A and B are shown apart, each in its own frame.
Chain A
Amino acid sequence: MLPAASAFEIRELSVSYSGVPALSDISLDIPERGVSAIIGPSGSGKSTLLRTLNRMNDLVEGVRIEGRVAFRGRDLYGPDVDPTQIRRQIGMVFQKPNVFPRSIYDNVAYGPRLHHQPGNLDEIVREALVRSGLWEEVKHDLKQHAMTLSGGQQQRLVIARCIAVAPAAILMDEPTSSLDPLATVRVEELISELAADYTIVLVTHNLRQASRIADWTAFLAAERSASGVLHGRLAEVGPTSQLFTAPVDQRTKRFIAESMD
């Protein structure tokens, strides 16, 4: 079963770092809206795959990307593509909350200021904080330094910062891996709410999280190449419920059985 409308189209994608393969021959569609999870063991290139979707891999020394990655029909690696425009359109939330050493307000306002976004800046900041569920907790002191927030609040601030530039998609690289269980629940709830309006691609090592909040799930298997290096290959993709209850691929079956124990 294929998703109705694809946000991302990935075709024959291979990625290597300084000649060492990280991903081989991935072809995958990621649907518009909703949460799509990428799961797999370490070394399967989950983060690498995520970072090819908004060209954050450009920052990695010696990266080589072959194949095609398109967002809404547009080749992200085409010759006339400006990576900064791609990253504005496709936001990213990282494993550890990387708030800027500024006030809460200035964290959220950074993107709109950078892009000279039209509209009232106070209003943009407020709305982003409301959407990320942080407004009630911080509205009395937006000038407060962002580093004074708790880990969970910081991660929701990073999500607010991302929403403030009105992206079409948000990539999340294990966004709750550094959070406590309560903060994790709040961020998961937030992701589910945002999924109504945004295409969210979530890399997670937490299979229960994928089963809780993802509509679609892709499983990357780690293969060992002739030279002994682990690299990722797509084993299976489908609706999350199907992938978890009736996986077709043996590697998926084994991984789910081992991880859910």
Chain B
Amino acid sequence: MDEQVVRTGIALVLLLAAALGAMTLGGLSYRGEMLVAALRALVQLILVALVIAWIFTHPQWAFVYLAVMLGAAAYTANRRIGGDSHDRLGVLLAILMGASATVVIVALTGALSFSAQTLLPFSAQMIGGAMTTASLAGLRLRDDVKDQFPIFEGYVALGATYRQAGREFAHRAAEKSLFPTLDQTKSAGLVTLPGAFVGMLLGGAAPVLAVQIQLLVLIGLLLVQSITALLTTRLISPIDANFSVAQISGPS
């Protein structure tokens, strides 16, 4: 076995054991969960690495990988929002539009070479960012409508559809869902070293290259999240599906 793999394995075991030990000494619970989380990460990442390695040699399958990821992202975000199948389609579209707009610009400008090695991880990261934004924006929209239901009701009572009544709420929810990304972008390099940057430095890349890639990711995420937040809050219903289904029946 590769010596580096063995060393990594030893380090991982020591890190996890130390973490568990620290928790035991301090009397913290959730040791089981920590162990399970670590094992899950291990298995999942090894599987992903194998799949990606395979795709790098069979790049025509990259689209299938991204499509599966897109579907999973839409499903997860929609489940967090508590949406129905119509909402899921809206969330899917919002994530797709946000991520693809960014990837197209990055690919067409040649900022990243047109290859599975670069575009696959970049697209994956954009889809991941879009998923987080879709959940945040959708949840925020529904919470705001619930919190200010009398105002929502006022719009509906004037003959507005639920979507029309939710328009103002949608606008504010989209804005608010961008705050975390804006903060993250503003503090990049000062408070934290972002993931792609650290990863590339660890992988031996020159800091100047690492910064370029990190900027593509950060600024790319701004575009992803603007589009995804705007579309999510406009495409999903502003109230729970359960709300709107009055069961009507004729005289019995």
Selected contact of B151 from candidates A62, A84, A98, CB within 8 Å: A98
Query: What's the Cα separation between A94 and B240 when bound, in Å?
Result: 22
In the bound complex, do residue B158 and residue A91 qualify as a contact, i.e. CB atoms below 8 Å apart? yes
Stretch at the interface among B22-30, B90-98, B159-167, B180-188: B159-167
CB of B101 to closest CB in A, whole Å:
31
Which residues of B (144-171) have their CB < 8 Å from a CB of A? 150-151, 153-161, 164, 168
Query: What's the Cα separation between A114 and B158 when bound, in Å?
Result: 9
Inter-chain contacts of A161 with B (CB < 8 A) = 154, 158
In the bound complex, do residue A65 and residue B246 qualify as a contact, i.e. CB atoms below 8 Å apart? yes
Inter-chain contacts of A227 with B (CB < 8 A) = none
A99-138 interface bits toward B, Cβ cutoff 8 Å, 1 = contact, 0 = none: 1110000000011001100000000000000000000000
Query: What's the Cα separation between A114 and B167 when bound, in Å?
Result: 12
* B6: Cβ under 8 A from any A Cβ: no
CB of A144 to closest CB in B, whole Å:
18
In the complex where A115-B159, A165-B159 touch, is A59 in contact with B248 (Cβ < 8 A)?
no
Query: What's the Cα separation between A133 and B172 when bound, in Å?
Result: 33
* A186: Cβ under 8 A from any B Cβ: no
Which residues of B (206-252) have their CB < 8 Å from a CB of A? 239-240, 242-244, 246-252
User: Of all chain B residues, which has the CB nearest A63?
Assistant: B246
In the complex where A61-B242, A65-B248 touch, is A87 in contact with B151 (Cβ < 8 A)?
no
Query: What's the Cα separation between A64 and B248 when bound, in Å?
Result: 6
In the bound complex, do residue A11 and residue B157 qualify as a contact, i.e. CB atoms below 8 Å apart? no
Interface size class of A (residues with CB under 8 A): 35 or more
Which of B160, B164, B239, B248: most chain A Cβ within 10 A?
B248
* A145: Cβ under 8 A from any B Cβ: no
CB of B161 to closest CB in A, whole Å:
5
* A77: Cβ under 8 A from any B Cβ: yes
* A85: Cβ under 8 A from any B Cβ: yes
CB of A119 to closest CB in B, whole Å:
17
Query: What's the Cα separation between A107 and B231 when bound, in Å?
Result: 26
Number of A-B contacts (CB under 8 A): 87
Inter-chain contacts of A162 with B (CB < 8 A) = 157-158
User: Of all chain A residues, which has the CB nearest B149?
Assistant: A59
* A191: Cβ under 8 A from any B Cβ: no
Query: What's the Cα separation between A173 and B157 when bound, in Å?
Result: 12
* A67: Cβ under 8 A from any B Cβ: yes
* A58: Cβ under 8 A from any B Cβ: yes
* A12: Cβ under 8 A from any B Cβ: yes
* A182: Cβ under 8 A from any B Cβ: no
CB of A180 to closest CB in B, whole Å:
20
Inter-chain contacts of A251 with B (CB < 8 A) = none
Query: What's the Cα separation between A85 and B251 when bound, in Å?
Result: 23
Which applies to chain A's interface (DSSP): helix, strand, loop or mixed?
A: mixed
In the complex where A61-B242, A62-B242, A165-B158 touch, is A100 in contact with B247 (Cβ < 8 A)?
no
CB of B187 to closest CB in A, whole Å:
32
In the bound complex, do residue A87 and residue B156 qualify as a contact, i.e. CB atoms below 8 Å apart? yes
Inter-chain contacts of A63 with B (CB < 8 A) = 246-247
B121-162 interface bits toward A, Cβ cutoff 8 Å, 1 = contact, 0 = none: 000000000000000000000000000001101111111110
Inter-chain contacts of A111 with B (CB < 8 A) = 158-159
Inter-chain contacts of B242 with A (CB < 8 A) = 61-62
CB of B147 to closest CB in A, whole Å:
13
In the bound complex, do residue B153 and residue A56 qualify as a contact, i.e. CB atoms below 8 Å apart? yes
In the bound complex, do residue A77 and residue B248 qualify as a contact, i.e. CB atoms below 8 Å apart? yes
Selected contact of B240 from candidates A61, A68, A87, A115, CB within 8 Å: A61
User: Of all chain B residues, which has the CB nearest A111?
Assistant: B158
In the complex where A62-B242, A64-B247, A91-B158 touch, is A101 in contact with B151 (Cβ < 8 A)?
yes
In the bound complex, do residue B243 and residue A85 qualify as a contact, i.e. CB atoms below 8 Å apart? no
In the complex where A77-B248, A94-B150 touch, is A59 in contact with B156 (Cβ < 8 A)?
yes
Selected contact of B246 from candidates A11, A58, A115, CB within 8 Å: A58
Which residues of A (47-91) have their CB < 8 Å from a CB of B? 54-68, 77, 84-85, 87-88, 91
User: Of all chain A residues, which has the CB nearest B164?
Assistant: A114
Query: What's the Cα separation between A99 and B129 when bound, in Å?
Result: 37
User: Of all chain B residues, which has the CB nearest A164?
Assistant: B158
CB of A66 to closest CB in B, whole Å:
5
What are 13 A-B pairs with beta-carbon distances under 8 A?
A55-B246, A56-B153, A58-B244, A59-B156, A59-B244, A61-B242, A66-B251, A68-B251, A77-B248, A84-B159, A87-B158, A87-B159, A100-B154
Across chains A and B, which 6 residue pairs bring their CB atoms closest together, nearest first? A88-B159, A98-B150, A58-B246, A92-B157, A98-B154, A111-B158
- Show the binding face of B for A, using Cβ within 8 Å: 150-151, 153-161, 164, 168, 239-240, 242-244, 246-252
